[in-house]
Structure 1
Amino acid sequence: MKVLMINGSPDPKGCIHTAMSEVAKIFDQQGVQSEEILIGRKDIRGCTGCRYCKTTGKCVFNDLVNQTLPKLEEADGIILGSPVYYGNPNGTLLSFAQRLFYSSEADLTMKVGASIVSCRRGGNSASYQALNQFFSISGMPIAPSLYWNDVHGYTAEDVYEDEEGVQTMWNLANAMVFMMRSLADGRERYGSPELRKTLFTNFVR
């Protein structure tokens, strides 16, 4: 089992890294590999809708997005993590994720997704919902915890004072491992779900 963790924070040792480190501890204990990719300080531009990827299988902008595509295909689970900026996820992460998910040719169906957000005070639930959109449109079940997957703090050290937030990360990691293993067992017994992909409403005549 492998989990790809994409950290959108510009602080490589910030609150999101702290939260992901707590999740990674559980993965390690459960024998699950995890990799954290730091993109917050990268020069990542947004998607231009050129559809180059639909003929080549990679993005026209040859940057970290293309380097991450094989890792996305190999992963059993994907975590998107972002600090809250004006009630939204970090813009760099949104540009990265939009291009990554759109240009990928991998079948993401039934890979497990999860998002983690951090904020000093507010905007967490809106950011959490925005990140989860990437999973639901890709046929990916979203791992639960016993609360929304957020931690509170202004510094990385503050996160550890949010004991409920750290507990939420613990619950998330264990739930994610359970789901990935259960889905793997289900595929062996029942195969993958039958999905229809022939209809596409675009209202163009």
Structure 2
Amino acid sequence: MKVVLFNGSRKDNGCTFTALDLVAKSLEFEGIETEILNVGRRVFNGEIEDVVKTASEKVKNADGFVFGSPVYWASPSGELVMFMDRLWAAAGADFRFKPAASVSTCRRAGNTATLDVINKYFAYSAMPIVTSCYWNEVHGKTPEDVLKDEEGVQTLTMLGKNMAWLLKSIEAGKSSVTQPVWVDKVMTSFIR
């Protein structure tokens, strides 16, 4: 089993990468393969089509996902939102019924609003949303600060354990439980 983690920060090795690495290490401890893709900087540099193409291929074969973002203006980075918009347009069907989690990092506030925006993509695609023992967030201005946030570190470590448990449960149930059938959405217009 494999989980792909997407770093929506403009910094490849900043606070968001550090947070995602905590989740990845917890997943790996549970026997789950991981890969972190730094997408934020590449989107910022105008490489959106290339990064979406690469990510679309990864999504097909992955069993679960974690999307991480720093908080910019009390919401996810614009780079992550642009990436997710394009990725869902290109590979939305490949996300269906696969577990996902959101992770946010910030110096002060805006974390829960960031998590809410990211989680809406999952809800739209019938994806089980993985939670932890608190909101999937960590605080710090630097990667070193992130690691000092004991509650945040515990939360992200537990997130990895919970995702591993859900992935293993899904795998164990495949032989005896039928996956739901996707139906085309009814699109109601409220304007008459």
Question: Shorter-normalised TM-score: what interval?
Answer: over 0.9
1:129 paired residue among 80, 94, 116: 116
Aligned equivalent of 1:69? 56
Q: Does 1:14 align with 2:1?
A: no
1:139 paired residue among 126, 133, 157: 126
Structure 1 SS opposite 2:54: helix
1:165 paired residue among 152, 156, 166: 152
Deviation readout 1:104-138 (Å, 9 max, x if unpaired): 15342220010000010110110010010110100
Identity %: 41
Unaligned runs of 5+ in 2: none
8 Å contact from structure 2 (residues 39, 80) kept in 1:
yes
Cα separation, 1, equivalents of 2:143 and 2:105: 10
Aligned equivalent of 1:181? 168
Cα separation, 2, equivalents of 1:187 and 1:109: 15
Unaligned runs of 5+ in 1: 47-60
Larger Rg: 1
Higher helix share: 2
8 Å contact from structure 1 (residues 44, 96) kept in 2:
no
Cα separation, 2, equivalents of 1:2 and 1:171: 17
TM-score with structure 1 setting the length: 0.87
Cα RMSD after superposing both structures: 2.0
Q: Does 1:117 align with 2:111?
A: no
Structure 2 SS opposite 1:42: helix
Deviates more, 1:93-102 or 1:36-45: 36-45
CA distance 1:122–1:192, change in 2 (3 Å): same
Runs of 4+ in 1 over 3 A off after TM superposition: 43-46, 202-205
8 Å contact from structure 1 (residues 45, 92) kept in 2:
no
TM-score with structure 2 setting the length: 0.92
